[in-house]
Structures are given as C-alpha cells and as structure tokens.
A and B are shown apart, each in its own frame.
Chain A
Amino acid sequence: MKRLIFILPIIAFAGLAAFLGFGLTQDPKELPSQLIDRPLPEFALPGIADEPGGGPGLSSASFRGEPRLLNVWASWCAACPQEHPVLERIAAEGFPVYGIAWKDKPEDSRAFLARYGNPYAGMGSDFPGRTAIDLGVTGAPETFVVDRHGRVRFKQIGPISPEVWEQQIRPLMQQLRAEA
C-alpha cells in the first residue's frame, strides 16, 4: 500500500506525457474559420479614391456570379509588398482579385498602389476595422476565396506564396469555375 503511493507520481506523469505527445501532433496555426461554407458577411465599404465618398467602393452584394478572391491588406503591413507580385500574377492569369484596405488611411492605400501597381478589380476602405471583425480577420494579409453564390470556401492566413497559389488556391478556383 505504502509502496503504491510512491509509484503514483510516475504513473500520473506517464499519462500526462502521452497527452502532451498527442498535443504536439496538432497544429495550433490551423484556426478553423467560422465562415467556411457560409455566406460572406454583409458589408458596403467606401472606396479609396481622392473624391468625396472615396469613389465606387466595394460591397458584399457584388460577390455573385463568378468565383473571386477577397484580399485583406494594408499599406502598413510588412508582408503585403511581398505578397503583391503574386496578386499581380493572379490578376494577370485572369482571376479577379478584390481588396479591402484594413485600418488604412485612403491616401496611404493610394500611395501603396501607386508605388507597387494595382492588381485589384475593386477596392473598399475599412478604416474603422469593423468589416474585418465580421470577417474574423486576425492579421494582414488574409485572403478569402468566395464562390459564385457568395459563400466563403477557403481562407488563407498570411501572404499567398507562389506555391500556395499554384498548389491550393488556383486548383480550387478552377474547380469553382467548373461547378455549374
């Protein structure tokens, strides 16, 4: 009996080690997005143009009819210039990319696009950051794949690298286009 008490700590520890070992096989970066297979939250954002109201802007209603990418970015974001060439390439390959400038002053967004080029088919300004909260954005950049019915099908956290585009997102876009 007394002996058993002394063995107890190592038995408890063995159980814990098993759980910790299991925990290691899980990826904490794989955040489940609540939005997958749900409709894009409703938003109507002003544009970033240098005119009252900011120009045409962007609304969730326009995500209908064909699959599109929605890229959340900002001029202050360090990884965005790195992702930019990939976005240009995506646009050049004929896939429409729309943007939301998150917590970014319209003049800063304009300066960024003037410097690096503008791959976006449409742009909304989310300076207060409210739409980003609805979208569940955790940081910039993030990209959503939205299908022809306006449903979110995929979410990329962090910049889209050429590999991610070629191996994950482009096949998905092609598949979504093929879906009747």
Chain B
Amino acid sequence: MLAEIGHFALILALLVAAAQAVLPMLGAARGDAALMAFGRSAAGLQALLISIAFAALMILFGQADFSVALVANHSALSQPLPYRLAATWGNHEGSMLLWVLVLAIYGAGIARFGDNLRATLQARILAIQAMISVAFLAFALFTSNPFARLSPAPLDGAELNPLLQDPGLVFHPPLLYLGYVGFSVTFSFAVAALMEGRADPAWARWMRPWVLAAWVPLTCGITLGSFWAYYELGWGGWWFWDPVENASFMPWLLGTALLHSAIVTEKRGALAGWTILLAILAFSLSLIGTFLVRSGILTSVHAFAVDPERGVFILAMIIGATGTALGLFAMRAPQMKSGALFGSVSRESGLTINNLILMALTAVVFLGTFYPVIMEAVNPANKISVGPPYYNLVFAPLSVPLLLLVTVGPMLAWKRDDAGTVGRKLLVPAAFAVALFAGLSLWLGLDKASSAFGLALGAWLILGAGLVLARRWWGAGGFSWRLVRTTPAATVGLALAHAGIGVTTAGISAMSGFAAEKILVMRPGETAEAGPLAVTMLGAEEVDGPNYRALRARFAVRQGGGESSLVSERRLYSVSGNQTTEAGIGVSIAGNQYVAIGDVQSDARGQGLVVRIYWHPLVGWIWFGGLLMAMGGAASLADRRFRIGAPQVRAPLARGLVPAE
C-alpha cells in the first residue's frame, strides 16, 4: 500500500510540475499576477508530494519490505537499521528520487524566500525549475521507478554494497546532490535573465545566496567524499582523479568562478555575460556528472547503474537544457549591456583573471575525464584512462598563479588601483612567504623545493586571509572592538575560505613531498619501518561482526618518543561475498599513521599477512581546509545584506517631475 501511495504521489508531482512549467511562464509574458502566483503555490505542492514519496520509500526500507524490488535488491535483514535507511539513496532509483526531492525543495525555497524578487523574474525562474523537474520526474517514473513490486517477495534481500555501509554514505550523496541540484537554481536565474534580456546588479544580488547555497554543501560533500575514500577504500590516497570525483570537482570549480564573477556583476554591473555563462555551465556539468555515473560511459568504482537506455534519456536532457540555454545565450547575450569599465589593475580585472584560470582548470579536468570517450570514438579498440600523471603535470602549474592571486585580490581596489600601493599592502606576507620558502629549501634540500614552495604558498594564503581581517579591525585609531563587531559576515567568510585554501594547499604539498609508504608481508612479532614510523605486528585473529567475518590484526606504532596501537580489519560480508578493508589510522595535527592489512601471502620466510604502512604528513589539513572553505561560504550566506531588499535601480525622473506617492 505504502509503495502505491509513494508511486501515486510521484505521478501527481509530475502533473503539478508540468503545470508549473507552463502557467507562470505565460503569466510572466502576459503580466497576469494570478498565473504567476500559481507558480509559487505549485512549487510548494510539488515539494510536499515528493517529500511524501521519499518518506514512503524510506519507511519501506526501514520495514524491510522485500515485496518492493528496490528494497529487496539493496538491503538485507542482517544490515543495521541506519544503513537500511541510508540504502534509500544508495542505489540508482532511490538517488534519483533524492535528486528530485532536493530540486523540489530548492523550488519551494525560491517561492518562499523570493519575496523581494521581481515578480516576472520569479515566475520565470519557477517555470524553468519545473521544466527540469518534469524531465527528472519522468526519468524516475518511466525508466527507474523506485516503487516497482517484486513477486514473489524473497525472504531476505541482497545486501547493499558493503563499501557503502559507512557513515560516509549517509551524508556524502545528499550533500553532493544539494550542490549539484543547487546549481539548477542559478541555471534558472541565468536562463530567466536571458529571456528578460536583463542581468543587472539586483539580479546578481538575488542570485548570489543561491550560488552559496549550492557551493557550501558541494564543498562539504567533496571534502567528505575525499575523506571517505581515504579511510574506507583502503588505498591510502585522498584524491584519485576518478571520473566521478572529477564530475563533482568540475561544477565546484565553475561554481567558485561563478561566486566571484557574480560579485563583480552585483557591485559593478560588469561581467554579466560571464556570470550567465558560468551559471549555465555549472549546472550543465552537474548534469553531465550524473550522466557519467548513470550511463556507464566511463567505468569507475562509483558507476552503479550501467544502462544505455537511461544514458540516452539523460543525454537528451542535457542536450535539451544546455543546448537551449546556450542557444539563448548566443542570441541574447550580445545585446545585453556590458556595464562599467575598469582599469587593468583593479579588483574587477583580478576577478576576471580568477575566472579565466578557473575555467582553464575546469577544461583541464574535463579533457582528462572525456579524453578516453573521445579516443574510443576515434578508435573503438582503445580503452584507455588518463591517470594522475596528466593532472599533476597540467593542473598544478595552472593552479599556482591562481593561488598566488588569491591573496592579492582582496587587497585590490575597485575600478582602478596601482601596483605600487597593492605591493606595499602585501609586503609583510610576501616577505614571510619568501623567507619560509628559502628556509625550507635550504633545510630540506633543493630536491624538496617544490614541496617547500607549496608550504610557503599555503602560508602566503593563510597570512593573506589574516591580512583581510587585520586591515578591517585596525582603523586609523588602532585596533578597535567596534570594528571587529561591525565586520560584515561576508568579509569573515572571505577570510575563512581563503585561509581554507591555504590550509589545503599546505596539506597537499606536505603529502606530495614527505609521505612515506611500505608494503610487505609481516608475521606477529616482526617490526617494519616507514619514514618516521616503526610498526610492530602484535597479533592477528578472526572475529565476527553483525553481518560479516573479519580478520583483525593489531599493531604497535612508535614515532619519535610516542607509542600508540592500531587495529586493521579485513571484512568478508557473508551475504554478498564482498570484501572490504578497515584501515587503522592514528590521527594527529602533524599527520596520520596508516596501517592496512591485505591477503595472507607467503614470502621467503613463510606465510604472513600483507601489510601496508603509510606515513601521511599534514593529510588532515586537506580536509580541514575544505571544511574552512565551507564555513566561509556559510558565513557569507549569513550576511544580513542578503536578507534586506536589493537596491532597486530606478530610472531617474525627468527634472521637474515629482513621484506620485
């Protein structure tokens, strides 16, 4: 019964969305307030209906109702309840339902919090949101119905992939979806602006909180995903340039560019064309990301629904959305005013360079991800993938100028500045970073110069972020609490986010220059050394978990003067026969000690366990930096300037006329 209620709610939502896609658009064209108001009610109703469907599916998973095919295929009775619930979105059909749920919630958000939006703009945005909704709801209902029944119902279900039975899964996909789908709002803003032929500062100000609302969860989601891969997949790395990782990283890069170019559009009325293009591309790359995972075009650990029919549907959706938007862009954007002029040394030009580099970085990742598809089109016998060497070679050199610029940007004045003034402001952090680079290079040796440079770059970024706050807090009369209290939340957000990049940069540099690893066969009592670590295997035994058997090995780890103990497990899930590795990780600010066991193997001295030992200096900084960036975004989102009405640009009244009110 519950499954039918959910299915029915989903069908109703599709009908509501279809009406919402047409009527408000008509209303905006004719200036009909009632039709435009219908968009707002429909958006709320749609969100309610999809919430009912999602709740129904979640309850079905909670009750372990195996007469529903999806539940039977993705959860088993032996699975703990939280993971049975998380399995709701740990599969293709359920995750599509989550996608439309998030889409509908954003739509309801525009309807609810968009009071100060121009009525026609709001109506058009809601209609475009609904068009995306219609496409995805139809996709869910016609190609991947989550409520399909299974007859006869099995006594127990097939297990969820054990890799996904982890707290990481509970939060990672929903956060990414909040990000991906959040860019649908900015996409709708951009297309609506093209339809109205108007992208003014007020438009950019309305859009900016929505960019942040997508960017913050996306940042969290990517950070969490990287962390999850590190401790769950047992590969000891934090980023693999896997196609699906890239699929989330590309919208992030473009979203970051969009965040910055929207500031220029809001403050100075310039770069409107860029802002619109970035908004269209950010969402398009989110769609292409979905396409990658669902279509099986690229083989990857993440690909969980390989089905060409679904791929065709999503490709049609991408062509419809992106093709139409870019077509509109080609037609309308040249006629839009391109705003104020600015000097070659100015905040505007700094942000333009930021945009150009971020676009180039996106192109690098894009090429690396799609090169295999294109090569295969040229020669079908070619099944290749582009590895980390490509990215290290191309991505790193391109990102260095961008990172150098991050500290310079906030020091630049709007309109026009001169290099000498900016240079004097940056003297202290620049001197410190250069001294740090020189000192580290001498101390560690010249072969570590690139890592020393990375660490100095991190310091440059963190100091630059500090400088932003310091210049705000120290007025003409010295440090003042009043200035601290009146600092806008957006300024604090800027400093946090830029410092976060610095922290992440330092972590990446330390990892790439000073990580140590050793893989060997060990027996109890033996000791191995890797970098600063000395690891002794204490013993190994078999243990039973709730739905798995495991081989558990205990280790003692000595580093410097301290000693700690670590445990690693190799789990075998009995229902599905899948194996996973739980690494033992000793965490500290200076770095992580990482021990993971593999198979039983023999070497020259007899049988033992394969053991991988890693020393990962500053690795935690990579994720802490990501968290700081997200916190910075959240702080900016809390800025009260977003909540008070946007400045209305009025046509100046002719001399001698008086407003009627």
Binds A, one of B6-14, B325-333, B442-450: B325-333
Binds B, one of A17-25, A40-48, A59-67, A86-94: A17-25
Contact of A23 among B297, B327, B572 (CB under 8 A): B297
* A103: interface (CB < 8 Å): yes
Interface residues of B in 594-621 (CB under 8 A from A): 599-602
A-B contact pairs, 25 of them (CB 8 A): A3-B334, A6-B273, A10-B323, A10-B327, A10-B329, A10-B330, A13-B284, A13-B326, A17-B318, A19-B377, A20-B318, A22-B373, A22-B377, A23-B297, A24-B308, A28-B296, A28-B298, A28-B303, A28-B306, A32-B381, A76-B572, A77-B577, A78-B158, A103-B599, A128-B601
Contact of A24 among B273, B315, B575, B602 (CB under 8 A): B315
- Assuming the contacts A24-B295, A29-B306, A76-B577, asked whether A17 and B315 have C-beta atoms less than 8 A apart, the reply is yes
Q: Are A74 and B599 in contact (CB under 8 A)?
A: no
Q: Flag B321-365 by CB within 8 Å of A: 1 or 0 each.
A: 011001101100110000000000000000000000000000000
Interface residues of B in 540-577 (CB under 8 A from A): 572, 574-577
Q: Are A6 and B297 in contact (CB under 8 A)?
A: no
How far, in whole Å, are A2 and B338 apart by their CA atoms in the complex? 12
**A interface residue count range (under 10 / 10 to 19 / 20 to 34 / 35 or more):** 20 to 34
* Inter-chain CB contacts under 8 Å: number: 86
Q: Are B373 and A19 in contact (CB under 8 A)?
A: yes
User: Which residue of chain B has its CB nearest to the CB of A9?
Assistant: B326
Q: Which residues of A contact B (CB under 8 A)?
A: 2-3, 6-7, 9-10, 13-14, 16-17, 19-29, 31-32, 74, 76-78, 103, 127-129, 140
10 smallest CB-CB distances across A and B, nearest first, come from A10-B326, A76-B577, A23-B373, A23-B297, A7-B330, A22-B377, A28-B299, A78-B577, A24-B311, A9-B326
Q: Which residues of B contact A (CB under 8 A)?
A: 158, 273, 277, 280-281, 284, 288, 291, 295-299, 303, 306, 308, 311-312, 315, 318-319, 322-323, 326-327, 329-330, 333-334, 370, 373-374, 376-377, 380-381, 383, 572, 574-577, 599-602
How far, in whole Å, are A7 and B277 apart by their CA atoms in the complex? 11
- Assuming the contacts A19-B377, A78-B576, A128-B602, asked whether A9 and B383 have C-beta atoms less than 8 A apart, the reply is no
- Chain B positions within 8 Å of A32 at CB level: 381, 383
- Chain A positions within 8 Å of B308 at CB level: 24-25, 27
User: Which residue of chain A has its CB nearest to the CB of B309?
Assistant: A24
Q: Are A21 and B383 in contact (CB under 8 A)?
A: no
- Chain A positions within 8 Å of B383 at CB level: 31-32
- Chain A positions within 8 Å of B291 at CB level: 20
How far, in whole Å, are A9 and B329 apart by their CA atoms in the complex? 9
Q: Are A24 and B297 in contact (CB under 8 A)?
A: yes
Q: Are A9 and B330 in contact (CB under 8 A)?
A: yes
Q: Which of A13, A19, A25, A127 is the most central at the interface, judged by chain B CB atoms within 10 Å of its CB?
A: A13
- Chain B positions within 8 Å of A29 at CB level: 296, 306
User: Which residue of chain B has its CB nearest to the CB of A16?
Assistant: B370
Q: Are A28 and B297 in contact (CB under 8 A)?
A: yes
How far, in whole Å, are A23 and B375 apart by their CA atoms in the complex? 10
- Chain A positions within 8 Å of B381 at CB level: 32
How far, in whole Å, are A23 and B376 apart by their CA atoms in the complex? 8
Contact of B315 among A3, A21, A129 (CB under 8 A): A21
How far, in whole Å, are A115 and B319 apart by their CA atoms in the complex? 54
Contact of A20 among B315, B330, B333, B600 (CB under 8 A): B315
Q: Which of B574, B577, B602 is the most central at the interface, judged by chain A CB atoms within 10 Å of its CB?
A: B577
A136 to chain B, nearest CB (A): 14
How far, in whole Å, are A27 and B319 apart by their CA atoms in the complex? 22
B306 to chain A, nearest CB (A): 7
User: Which residue of chain B has its CB nearest to the CB of A128?
Assistant: B601
Q: Which of B281, B330, B334, B601 is the most central at the interface, judged by chain A CB atoms within 10 Å of its CB?
A: B330
How far, in whole Å, are A21 and B602 apart by their CA atoms in the complex? 48
- Chain A positions within 8 Å of B322 at CB level: 13
Q: Are A6 and B319 in contact (CB under 8 A)?
A: no
How far, in whole Å, are A29 and B323 apart by their CA atoms in the complex? 30
